[in-house]
Amino acid sequence: MKTPRIFGHCFLSLSISFVALAACSAAESTNAPSCKACVAAKTTDAAKPAAAEEGCKSLFDGKSLNGWKPTNFIGKGKVEVKDGCILLGKGNDLTGVSFVETNSLSRTDYEIELEGKRVGGYDFFCGLTFPVGKACCTLVLGGWGGSVVGISSIDGMDASENETTKSMEFVKDRWYAIRVRVTAEKIECWIDKEQIVDVTITGKRIGMRFGEIEESAPLGIASYNTASAFKNIRLRRLD
């Protein structure tokens, strides 16, 4: 059987790379000058920017709350930065952080992405509040006892009772990639690679659930009676 041409090319490329790396290892062991082929093999991938990074603005430096502040919830838990993450301690009830550079925020045609996990507790570990035109709303992950996801609010109905309502299991201490896309016509949300929200908002009333969570607007992250962690918070313009 003839090997398909594409696999033949891949095999040849891999063979060349292995030979180059072997030559470099030999050079290093004899204190010889580094071989150019090896340097190229080692640096080619590193020199290419990841597609996910292109056009992104980082909103969290991984070292401090620069650009953020603890949200003024009455029973808030401890907020700190540790090991490259924003840690929200378990509060009574809400704990969160709010983005302070509000003048730089996009209000439509943008994506916001982050990674989050539940560290302790059994209610929502992520309430991501974000702007939608002149209004704001919240993506709730793990609410109402730990499994409800959805948008609060659409036409006055919160995440537990509107067309975005779903039930998902969230594993403690497991990181989840969270992404929200806002356009003039839609709100779309993903967890990892699964799309969980795809809702047309034309002609609908978008708003916040009444109560303390309104303190998160226009951009904030909160948890409810739950400890959580967040990292890699980024914003991307779509236009």
pLDDT digits (tens, 9 = 90+) for 134-178: 999 999 999 999 999 999 999 999 999 999 999 999 999 999 999
62 and 131 together in one domain: yes
Show the CA angle centred on residue 70, arms to residues 125 and 89, nearest 5°: 40
Q: Give how far Cα 110 sits from Cα of 99, 195, 237, Å.
A: 16, 16, 4
Q: Please give the pLDDT value at position 53.
A: 59
Tell whether 204 and 126 lie within a shared domain. yes
Q: Which residues of 104-117 are buried (b: 16+ CB within 10 A; e: fewer)?
A: eebeeebbbbbbbb
Same structural domain, 105 and 156 = yes
Same domain membership, residue 189 and residue 169: yes
13 shares its domain with 87: no
Both 92 and 137 in one domain: the answer is yes
User: Does residue 65 sit in the same domain as residue 41?
Assistant: no
Q: Is the same domain home to 11 and 62?
A: no
Q: Whole-structure pTM over 0.95, yes or no?
A: no
Domain coverage including residue 9:
5-48
Q: pLDDT (tens digit, 9 = 90+) per residue, 98-141? A: 999 998 899 999 999 999 999 999 999 999 999 999 999 999 99
Q: State the DSSP string of 117-156.
A: EEEEESS-SEEEEEEETTEEEEEEEEETTTTEEEEE-BTT
pLDDT in the model for residue 104 = 86
Same domain, 40 and 72: no
pLDDT for position 207 = 98
Contacts of 16 (CB under 8 A, 6+ apart): none
